[in-house]
Amino acid sequence: IARTNPPPADFLDAGCSFGGFVAAAERAGYRARGLDLSDFAVQEGLKRGRALQKGPVARDTFDEASFDVITLIEVMEHLPNPQLAAQSLFRWLRSGGLAVIQTANFQGWQARSEGSDYHYYLPGHLYYYSAENLKTLLRAAGFCRFKLFRPVDFPLSAKLRKMSLAAYPEKAGWKRKLQTSYYHLKGKLHLGSFSLTSSMVLYAWKA
């Protein structure tokens, strides 16, 4: 994000929970705020000195052209009106602004191979996306340029370092590390829009 839309800039994390990503954005130099529907999460975040507010991803929650960057990390699938959400993001962004959406990619091999057993089918997940239908949704709202990433949630080195500190038996620990490395490697492999794992991040810019 900092490479394409660097700080200082106005940053919103929509669906921010306790505001951990808001704090990270602040440390990176952004003027960061958070939005969440949970009163408990917002109040806890405020106690920690984070600029959070309660509210929906809906048109009038913020004024037009309020932000340069808006992130939705594992949020889009929970929103009951995707069209309204996309229109709201577009309205809130300034010209050249960036929306960052992380969600599951249902074109991925993991989602296709597991079918109805795919772990992402959860009661709170109202909509499911592929890279193409998510782009179509955002394009209809006015977004004009896109960049798709098929990343993992954290760098592999950080994952393995964290696991090395966990209290796994030696044999089980090596097995977990190999499984984690294999999953991360698959996340980097794709053929066109078809990827082996079902995670994606889509960048969408406003002209």
Position 124 confidence tier, pLDDT thresholds 50, 70, 90: confident
Q: Which residue has the higher pLDDT, 3 or 154?
A: 3
Q: Are strands 31-36 and 10-14 parallel, antiparallel or unpaired?
A: parallel
For the stretch 77-90, pLDDT in tens is: 999 999 999 999 99
Instruction: Say how far apart CA 179 and CA 65 lie, in whole Å.
Output: 44
44 touches 18 (CB < 8 A): yes
Contact by Cβ (8 Å): 73, 21: yes
The single-letter DSSP state of residue 181 is H
Taking 90 as the threshold, does the pLDDT of residue 40 lie above it?
Answer: yes
Question: For the chain, how many residues are written?
Answer: 207
pLDDT at 193 exceeding the cut of 70:
no
DSSP code at position 37: S
Which CATH architecture describes the domain 10-150+192-205? 3-Layer(aba) Sandwich (3.40)
Q: Give the start-to-end residue ranges of the domains of the chain.
A: 10-150+192-205, 156-185
Interval 15-34: pLDDT, tens: 999 999 999 999 999 999 99
Secondary structure class of 80 (helix, strand, coil): coil
Contact 76/85 with Cβ under 8 angstroms?
yes
